[in-house]
Structure 1
């Protein structure tokens, strides 16, 4: 779970710079819109006097003027709303893209601790809320604040003392709105945290529904879901309760203030300090104040909720990124596939050393198997080769070049991973194999043939056939063969296999193994071996224990040593005589 960090909407202002033309025109529309209100107040005062005095001949032209001003106002309002909407949405889009781009650059330890449901909520609901708040700030809050100032200025021009009396209530209203806003912010953060937890639970539930039913645990899951939605209901109700309380409290103060002003205005007319038409205009302007105050109050609450969302989005900026490329990276050129580890030290934290003084040399075109218990360092070695992590000491060399001096993307184009559990994105089969790298249809088909996948691809309707979400229309063997094709389509020099057949039946495994044998030809291959029967023909087998290579050699050489490897073979009922 990400901890919300401090964030301010003003930090997003530089993102609006490139949209200065519609913002400038929209600002002009705002000014026209605001200026029309004191004009309408003046016209309304004259109209009320004409109607109250029975002067019909004066009322008609006044109404015509009012209609003209009202038409200009509404045209300006349409202009500001439409012109300012697009920049706000584009900035929201840019913010979401920037956050997603950063998400792709986080270190894997940072990614692994994050909830997928929580991240999905932040990049959808939180990002939408931030966009809505930015739009309201520009097209609603800004005009409302300007209108408030213009109307107060006009009222001061009509009667300064009366306006000063009107402003006596302002500090009380501001303090109340501020207090309610702080409470809404806290309640919104709690509510959004509850929604994130709910999204995370839903992601787990959908992904694990097969397991839930297999263990008849539906009631347990239903109870967990009920507790989550009840927590969300209570947190959400607290936010709504605060907003519901704010409106009548502030509204009562506004009503009381208006009645007091009417009484004071009557007294000033009685003393001759103010004329009737002037007070009519003043009263209309006073009523006009209610709308911008109401908008600012409501928008302030939404602003606080949006601030909570922005803080949750900005929390991603506190997470560590993978190391950047070097300032003057080396160029790989034609890669032969020689791999060398020199005195490599690596630890995940200060109390958990894994590799200490690890040395290894792999000749080009060789097949090397990594065996050992869970936690021995096999997957960590793959992570170091892919530069997902970097060693604290020592060097890892590819064809004599330090991986730390290469561009990560160029390095990863020469290393291809076939994971044990093949994750495929939805889309066409061609898109799945290409994986956004721009390979030609010929290269994609050649990779599929190499992976022994073309037969079932054609049976599905060809390379344009779609893979459904979560690959529900593919078998395990088909997924693995597409993963092999995806790995070899770019003709990488090194192939990293996290034994891709350990969860398959014998017949399916034979088809996948055939694809693997084709894919391994002419490449350096490192295999994480869970079942030793699959790597007996490896050129070299490395036995790892707690980050140390305790044995190495061929299958027969290691058996003759009667050490750890021989013990593992006996445990898996492999003939050792």
Structure 2
């Protein structure tokens, strides 16, 4: 929690001013019972109406000042909480954007969404509450005790005897509450994951009539979260009734002791009335403190989860390397191996080299490691063994920004955003309209764009108002618009007909002749003209060469060609 409170430093001036207002208002509230006791015991027995009115006016002024300063303090507390949470959420989002793919896999996307939303909301709540109630309640508690000491020390001792029991109760319950609220947030992560998966796969669920199955699945996760919330709530709920019991027992003792003292003439009626008012103030202050502690326990669990992300060190570090000479190769894989779980290789001993303008086609069954290969090339992950070179330099010697500026990439299930067509192609980069149009023409997207509303035409969320082929062509246009040195197409033409696919390849070869291609495809027709073809299966290399060489030497490639293109293996 201390790490999160670091974000309060820029708001120190506003916090100080707000707490000053809150302190003033709280002192006004503490003065009212004292003035009332003075009026009952001193002013009223004098039977002077003007004196009574003056003291009554003083009480009215105290009330108005307390009301005004409390409003100002609460407004400033809300402003501080809002601004602090905004900065925290911004830094958390920026840190998530810089996490490596391995770190995102470890945290999981649903958990990161939950930390960005519900966890930051809990921080917002506790920052506001600490300024409004967390500062006011201790002043009321301590101020009430000090004033009651001046009114009647004996009765105050009765009250003080209860506080150790209250403190022990609150400490034990709040310590257990932090762990329980952590479990609640973990359940929220799972709930977000299930909802996210169901929304993404809603068409499949409906097509297979699996609504009831998914409802039962959701009910299990929802019930687990409910049970954990109940357990945490039951734990924290012990504080209020227990505190009430202790304080009300103390109130009974105060009334009995006060009655004996008034009867014995050692205390005044006004003092007892004021003491009961202060006792109520102290009781309410204790209740407020318990609410703050409950909220603090929840926010503490959330803060730990947020700090876990903020303090995650980067694992894709830039290494120092002497400037490389011109090797003549744009991309080189040198005996590269990689494993996601560090137990079983997902890629094993991959080697190849590509010159500027050359094309590598990668083909193989699902799970062969094709997408993993381009993830390593983009340095979304680092290889466990071997080296990957771009322009003669190890990819680990580049800054991530400099490395990825060399690439244009289209991945499976890539995203289009709710914006204009032009903005989706530009994607925040400093690209001219000429570059955007050139990329669209090469991607065979210019025709349907210009026949519609042009580059100002709206794209729905995930490109829902476009066909599959139109979405893929826009994504390819985005990758081409910046004129990349290396173009990665990860199964990005599966929705294109053969004619459009062929025209796409011809246009890219003509307009981006110095660009090195890496094409991952399921169709041999998309890669048969590549300079090099890599055949993968279960992470290993089954064949490497041109189409003609593989048709002579690689049985797996021959089988794929026979299935897709008929019996004529040379087709």
Query: Normalised by the size of structure 2, how large is the TM-score?
Result: 0.90
Q: Which residue of 2 aligns with 1:61?
A: 54
CA RMSD of aligned residues (A): 3.0
Deviates more, 1:351-360 or 1:41-50: 351-360
Shift of 1:240: 4.4
Q: Which residue of 1 aligns with 2:358?
A: 366
Paired with 2:554 and 2:496, the residues of 1 have a C-alpha distance of 30
Query: 1:177 aligned to 2:170?
Result: yes
Pair 161,306 (structure 1): closer, same or farther in 2 beyond 3 Å: same
Shift of 1:58: 2.9
Equivalent residue for 1:535, pick from 527, 543, 552: 527
Shift of 1:105: 2.3
Q: Which residue of 2 aligns with 1:314?
A: 307
Pair 187,432 (structure 1): closer, same or farther in 2 beyond 3 Å: same
Q: Which residue of 2 aligns with 1:10?
A: 2
Query: 1:200 aligned to 2:193?
Result: yes
Query: 1:469 aligned to 2:461?
Result: yes
Equivalent residue for 2:421, pick from 429, 433, 439: 429
Query: 1:218 aligned to 2:211?
Result: yes
Q: Which residue of 1 aligns with 2:446?
A: 454
Paired with 1:331 and 1:55, the residues of 2 have a C-alpha distance of 99
Q: Which residue of 2 aligns with 1:523?
A: 515
Q: Which residue of 2 aligns with 1:153?
A: 146
Paired with 1:234 and 1:342, the residues of 2 have a C-alpha distance of 53
The answer to whether the 8 A contact 1:477-1:509 is kept is no
Pair 325,450 (structure 1): closer, same or farther in 2 beyond 3 Å: same
Query: 1:96 aligned to 2:82?
Result: no
Q: Which residue of 1 aligns with 2:488?
A: 496
Shift of 1:220: 1.3
Paired with 2:184 and 2:332, the residues of 1 have a C-alpha distance of 52
Shift of 1:55: 5.0
The answer to whether the 8 A contact 1:484-1:519 is kept is no
Paired with 2:19 and 2:321, the residues of 1 have a C-alpha distance of 46
Pair 511,152 (structure 1): closer, same or farther in 2 beyond 3 Å: farther
Deviates more, 1:107-116 or 1:9-18: 107-116
Q: Which residue of 2 aligns with 1:19?
A: 11
Secondary structure in structure 2 of the residue aligned to 1:396 = strand
The answer to whether the 8 A contact 1:433-1:485 is kept is yes
Pair 335,150 (structure 1): closer, same or farther in 2 beyond 3 Å: farther
Shift of 1:400: 1.8
Shift of 1:295: 1.0
Query: 1:405 aligned to 2:397?
Result: yes
Deviates more, 1:446-455 or 1:310-319: 310-319
How big is each residue's C-alpha offset from its partner over 1:514-549, in whole Å with a ceiling of 9 and x where there is no partner? 665566533111111321122111122223345554
Gaps of 5+ in 2: none
Paired with 2:383 and 2:468, the residues of 1 have a C-alpha distance of 35
The answer to whether the 8 A contact 1:107-1:320 is kept is no
Secondary structure in structure 1 of the residue aligned to 2:405 = helix
Secondary structure in structure 1 of the residue aligned to 2:362 = strand
Q: Which residue of 1 aligns with 2:544?
A: 552
Equivalent residue for 1:445, pick from 425, 437, 442: 437
How big is each residue's C-alpha offset from its partner over 1:401-449, in whole Å with a ceiling of 9 and x where there is no partner? 2221111111111111122333212222122111122323332233222
The answer to whether the 8 A contact 1:335-1:399 is kept is yes
Pair 180,400 (structure 1): closer, same or farther in 2 beyond 3 Å: closer
Pair 425,19 (structure 1): closer, same or farther in 2 beyond 3 Å: same
Paired with 1:152 and 1:38, the residues of 2 have a C-alpha distance of 10
Pair 90,24 (structure 1): closer, same or farther in 2 beyond 3 Å: same
Query: 1:47 aligned to 2:39?
Result: yes
Query: 1:416 aligned to 2:383?
Result: no
Pair 68,435 (structure 1): closer, same or farther in 2 beyond 3 Å: same
The answer to whether the 8 A contact 2:327-2:392 is kept is no
Q: Which residue of 1 aligns with 2:28?
A: 36
Gaps of 5+ in 1: 1-8
The answer to whether the 8 A contact 2:483-2:512 is kept is no
Query: 1:124 aligned to 2:117?
Result: yes
Deviates more, 1:163-172 or 1:271-280: 271-280
The answer to whether the 8 A contact 1:501-1:512 is kept is no
Aligned residues: 568
Paired with 1:316 and 1:14, the residues of 2 have a C-alpha distance of 16
Pair 506,527 (structure 1): closer, same or farther in 2 beyond 3 Å: closer
Pair 543,195 (structure 1): closer, same or farther in 2 beyond 3 Å: closer
Secondary structure in structure 2 of the residue aligned to 1:463 = helix
Deviates more, 1:471-480 or 1:373-382: 373-382
Q: Which residue of 2 aligns with 1:300?
A: 293
Equivalent residue for 2:476, pick from 469, 484, 490: 484
Paired with 1:349 and 1:187, the residues of 2 have a C-alpha distance of 30
How big is each residue's C-alpha offset from its partner over 1:186-242, in whole Å with a ceiling of 9 and x where there is no partner? 543444333333322221111111111111112212222333333344443444445
Shift of 1:335: 13
Query: Normalised by the size of structure 1, how large is the TM-score?
Result: 0.89
Paired with 2:396 and 2:554, the residues of 1 have a C-alpha distance of 38
Q: Which residue of 2 aligns with 1:6?
A: none
Pair 62,131 (structure 1): closer, same or farther in 2 beyond 3 Å: same
How big is each residue's C-alpha offset from its partner over 1:216-270, in whole Å with a ceiling of 9 and x where there is no partner? 1122122223333333444434444455554333223222211211222233344
The answer to whether the 8 A contact 1:542-1:551 is kept is yes
The answer to whether the 8 A contact 2:318-2:397 is kept is yes
